[in-house]
Amino acid sequence: MILSVKEIADAIGCASTSERMISTLLTDSRSLCRPDETLFFAIKTDVNDGHRYVAELYRRGVRAFVVEKIPDIMTEVCDADFIVAGNALEALQRLAAYVRSLVDIPVVGITGSRGKTVVKELVYAALLKAGKKVVRSPRSWNSQIGVPLSVWRIEYDCDVAVFEAGIDHCGQMDALKDIIRPTIGVLTEITDEHDGGFDSREQKVAEKCKLLKDCRTVIEGDDNRKTAAMILEALGLSPDLLDGIEEVSTRLDVHDGVNDCLMIYDEFTDDPASLAGAIDFMRRRRTASRRNTLILGDLLHRKGEDLNLLYARVADLLQIAGIDRLIGIGSEISGHSDAFDPLMASEFLATTDEFLEKYNISHFDSELILIKGDTSFVEIRRRLETPRHQSILEVNLDAVVANFNAYRSVLNPQTGIVAMVKASGYGTGALELAKTLQSHGAAYLAVAVAEEGVALRRAGITMPIILLNPVTTNYQALFAYGLEPAVFSIRELEMLIDEARRYGRTDYPVHIKLDTGMHRLGFIDNEIDGLVGLLCSTDRVKVSSAFSHLATADCLDQNEYTESQFDAFERMTMKLAAGLPYAFRRHMLNTAGIMRYPERQYDMVRLGIGLYGISPLPPEETHLPLRPVASLSSTIISLKEWSPATTIGYSRKGVLERESVIATVPIGYADGVDRHLGCGRASFIVNGKRCPTVGNICMDLCMIDVTGADAGIGDRVEIFGPDAPIEVLADTLGTIPYEVLASVSPRIHRIYYRE
Ligand SMILES: *Cc1c(COP(=O)(O)O)cnc(C)c1O
């Protein structure tokens, strides 16, 4: 949609006389791309406040804002339009409802726990085939903010709209329904996802059904393709349009590439709107040292669409996004090479095979490469990947976000979350986690050693970082990278103060570690007076927080001890507070603490293992819907049939009792598969079947019994993950999941993906 600021103000119920034309609504400052046509909504959420970004966006060229209050430094500005609304999110929603009222077309509204996006994309592709002009939610924009932004994309000449509505709490659907006002309501499969936000399953279903209430047609089903077919019929179209259309994957992943390249591979529908989303994801991973390259296939489009116009629009998008190099693959994009030619370095090829013939790794160097096209493009990704081990640790970043939000939902909105990414994110890799958590509103990151903090800063992480065990030798680096040390002794504190003086720092933030019962590190009761004296004698450092660590939060029979730690913490922090002339924050709870003692959340909590989808408590005590984040897998590289009494591996420890098919898997104890898992003590999953280890685990290899599993060379072997809980391996080893996860060797390739 394109509207003037005046019309928009009217729609929201405010006043403005500005004729400035707005084509783009923005709620996340990082996604800015057309500043002069952008209207920014300064939305307040539990964890962030859009007003913080108003001045920066003004500097970057934005001249129209919806705010709840004009920021003080902006009151003198006279060449920008400010619409002052009581609540910026509601204003956005009201605007979307207005935009919806401008058109009288069939609108499909889809809700449910699973399959929304897949159904929407199936219907979308079929409608394009039928020559319809369709507006739809990009990717899975289905939230209180995503839905209005999707609806804004309606244009006057659209034939059909298809929107998703997602909710995770009671009471959210009313707003979405008023915005979407579907004529065809669709309910896909309901699962236990997000049950936590509702009192009961019935309540959740009832909330979802609110979307369907005033629809002319209601469709329900848990088979994606059938549901899509029914939607097409409801629109008066043939379900045969679905023939040949594949269900899309919403997966978007990041891989290391050859020659210091980083690759983003997106399997989602290849059309301009989805391309814009993928480019936005790409822009957030940019660094000065890499060029920005796009490998793009023919775009999905409407039958009869003007392709000159389509590719000209795409070229414009790529130029604004700062793409330096384009490789177009496909007959249509090649046929429209003129659109790109003068704007950026571009090369065109007719087919993926031609690319694979012509290009090798020497053609790419220090580039951030977005790969977006049909399924054959996976071969391009393979060509450009760093050669790697057959074994991978896959990390689901959406699961990290879901877990983060699950914990957030049991905390007060103003409680800060310190995300523990020490030990390289408990083995999963700190950087991608940090990026994800930074954008989802974690208050702090915490690492154990300085190198970890420095690496995060070098990679562009700007949020505050606590350094937990800072026996520091290089204070200059500490200061330069803005790492905030935890301080646990007078000696450390004195050194820190001296160094702060040397480097001219004042008020350097520190976190005071108190020992209330762990008896590991920290100030004890009788050291507090000395501590207060030292802190009051200097302006070199300033206490940002005081904290302590629970020794028994996960021990169900040690509640008294835990309570004694809370008492000690109260006492010691009171003393500290009485002695210091300023306020500081307090925090105590780790993951188990959050689950068992939420009333002790103080100002912040330190969330560790729970982020990774692992509960420190037994299942019956775990009331949060945690999702596994990491899965370790390898592949079968050799298969042999052996007769009974054959022995397998070192020391002949694996003795076959029957005719067996034995697979060799290139992962061993040097990769983090503990040797104690050998000789049948653990099973790995192949084709959904549990296959026990046979014989001793070797350094780089292990053998498993795949008899009856119908296994082939190249089949995936899951060591742990969604089908093989890491908790089971930990139990077998007599240890905790923390150790199993943190032991995955750095030589195992990490792959990060979004669903
Ligand atoms: C590791 C750590 C945590 C997080 O513990 P989890 O059990 O993983 O939640 C919290 N606080 C401190 C000081 C830690 O070292």
Ligand 1, closest atom to CA 606?
10
Give 196's pLDDT tier (boundaries 50, 70, 90).
low
Tell how far the Cα of 418 is from the centroid of ligand 1, in angstroms: 10
d(CA 224, CA 250): 14
Strand 367-372 to strand 291-297: parallel, antiparallel, or no bridges (unpaired)? Answer: parallel
Q: How far is the CA of 311 from the centre of ligand 1 (A)?
A: 51
Which segments of 304-461 does DSSP mark as H helices, in order? Answer: 307-320, 331-335, 352-358, 378-384, 397-408, 422-426, 430-439, 450-458
Supply φ then ψ for residue 74, to 5 degrees. Answer: -100, -5
387: confidence class by pLDDT, cuts 50, 70, 90: low
3-state SS track over 108-136: EEEECCCCHHHHHHHHHHHHHHCCCCEEE
Which DSSP helix (H) or strand (E) runs through 253? Answer: strand 252-256
- If one residue of 606, 607, 609, 612 were mutated to test the ligand 1 pocket, choosing by the most ligand atoms within 8 A of its CB, it would be 606
Predicted confidence (pLDDT) per residue in 689-712, tens digit? 999 999 999 999 999 999 999 999
| Span 60-119, pLDDT tens digits | 999 999 999 999 888 888 899 999 999 999 999 999 999 999 999 999 999 998 899 999
268-303 burial, b for 16+ CB within 10 Å, e for fewer? bbbbebbbbbbbbbbbebeeeebbbbbbbbbbbbbe
- Digit-coded pLDDT (tens) for 139-182: 888 899 999 999 999 999 999 999 999 988 888 899 999 999 99
Instruction: Out of 484, 590, 615, 617, give the residue to mutate to test ligand 1, the one with the largest number of ligand atoms within 8 Å of its CB.
Output: 590
Q: Which atom from ligand 1 is nearest to the alpha carbon of 486?
A: 13
Lowest mean pLDDT among 193-197, 264-268, 433-437: 193-197
State the Cα–Cα distance between residues 739 and 535, nearest whole angstrom.
Answer: 37
Ligand 1 mean position, distance from CA 307 (Å):
55
Closest CA to 276 of 219, 331, 222, 316: 316
Q: Which atom of ligand 1 lies nearest, measured to the CA of 422? A: 1
b/e per residue 69-108 (b: at least 16 CB within 10 A): ebbeebeeeeebbbbbbeebbebbbbbbbbbbeebebbbb
The amino acid present at 594, given as its one-letter code, is I
Q: Which one is predicted more confidently, 48 or 671? A: 671
Measured CA angle at 632 (ends 629, 634), to 5 deg: 150
Q: What is the 3-state secondary structure (H, E, C) of 378-398?
A: HHHHHHHECCCCCCEEEEEHH
At 59, is the secondary structure helix, strand, or coil?
helix
pLDDT per residue over 242-251, tens digit each?
Answer: 999 988 888 8
Neighbours of 714 (CB within 10 A): 9
> What is the phi-psi region of residue 364: left when phi exceeds 0, alpha when psi lies from -120 to 50, beta otherwise?
beta
Nearest Cα neighbor of 112 from 229, 268, 227, 252 is: 227
